[in-house]
Amino acid sequence: MFSTISRTPQNDPSAARVIERLRAIGGGQRSASAVAELTDISRAAAVQVRAEWPQLPLDARRYLVRQMVDLAEENVELNFSRILRVALDDDDAEVRAVAVAGLWEDESNDCLDELLGMLAREREPAVLEAIATGLGQFACRASLGDLDDEHTAQVRSALMDLLHGDAPSWVRRRALESLAWFTDDAEVTAEIAAAYASEDRELRVSALFGMGRNLDASWLPQILAELESDDPEFRYEAAKAAGELGDPQALDSLLNLIRDEDREVQTAAIGALGQIGGRVAVNVLRRLRRDKDPVVREAAEDALVQAFYESDPLRPGV
């Protein structure tokens, strides 16, 4: 007969190793490889980390969350979610904001509940901005029918509160951008329209971004108009939005932007051609991938892959 010993924070050897590494980093032994070893820790280790975290120097805590975010962006197999969720309760606003941003791949309802809980006590604009952006992934899930009704209502309500609250404009912008995921929602449509009509330039930029995310064909006239804007930021967002809508009516205006003086506008227009696809767009992209400009060539190559994927997801290549 074998005895079974339950794994607790006190008897989990992996938890001890995690704490040892944290203390070494806190003591100044810092490297990306050392942080990478903190991936995918156990629940028992997370309990230990929660107790140890406040004892680490502030510069070490900031270093850890920044490194975790950077490493996870470079390598999707790294998962620092449990440590980042501990960092949500940090006394330092910068640590909290970076931790929220680092949870962009954690689509669990537990993570959502923690973000919603933070809103009740959070006052720092930088953290509120990160939460508004982070709730966007859950708004996206809701738009796909992958989030239960209760959480869907909570996400929508939280974003509406942020949009209409007294937070700075940049927080309200992120709330609007995340709300745009709620398609076929008359109130969200009205909010995007009101933002676009406002005197706040940055809020208008976010409204244009939201039009593309909202996937409502009724926004096409505004998007087409902004493709002709004198402001490169508006041309850029309009090109991105046109690609999201995928309407061939935008092709002529996008073709005018493939030689735009602004590099970001130029590559956004090329990318939009790939999203819209069709014979005209594909022929243009094939010419562009032989362009003398390496940036144009690369953008056209990527757009061609997108165009062929949109027409046939099972097709192997271009």
Does residue 200 have a pLDDT over 70? yes
Specify the pLDDT at position 151.
98
pLDDT tens digits, one per residue of 62-82: 999 999 999 999 999 999 999
| CA distances (Å), origin 104, targets 160, 218, 280, 283 | 20, 30, 36, 36
What is the average pLDDT across 264-269? 98
Of the pLDDT bands very low, low, confident and very high (cuts 50, 70, 90), residue 242 is: very high
Of the pLDDT bands very low, low, confident and very high (cuts 50, 70, 90), residue 309 is: confident
Does residue 10 have a pLDDT over 70? no
Lowest model confidence (mean pLDDT) among 7-11, 75-79, 166-170: 7-11
Question: For residue 179, which of 203, 198, 201, 197 has the smallest C-alpha distance?
Answer: 203
**Residue 278 Rama label (left phi>0; alpha psi -120 to 50; beta):** left
Specify the pLDDT at position 315.
52
Does residue 227 have a pLDDT over 80? yes
Question: What gap in Å lies between CA 26 and CA 19, rounded to an integer?
Answer: 10
What is the average pLDDT across 87-101? 98
Specify the pLDDT at position 5.
39
Specify the long-range contacts of residues 299-302, CB closer than 8 Å, at least 24 apart.
299/266, 299/267, 299/270, 299/271, 300/270, 302/271, 302/274
Residue where the block lists tokens 């001890």? 16
Tokens of 11: 């008897």
Q: What is the DSSP string of 202-271?
A: HHHHHHHHHHHHHT-GGGHHHHHHHTT-SSHHHHHHHHHHHHHHT-GGGHHHHHHHTT-SSHHHHHHHHH
The model's pTM: 0.89
Of the pLDDT bands very low, low, confident and very high (cuts 50, 70, 90), residue 311 is: low
Does residue 318 have a pLDDT over 60? no
Mean pLDDT of the chain: 94
- Are 81 and 106 within 8 A, CB to CB? yes
Specify the pLDDT at position 278.
95
pLDDT tens digits, one per residue of 96-123: 999 999 999 999 999 999 999 999 999 9
Question: What gap in Å lies between CA 71 and CA 63, rounded to an integer?
Answer: 12
Specify the pLDDT at position 6.
44
pLDDT more than 70, % of the chain: 93
Question: For residue 97, which of 121, 136, 65 has the smallest C-alpha distance?
Answer: 65
Does residue 8 have a pLDDT over 80? no
Does residue 208 have a pLDDT over 70? yes
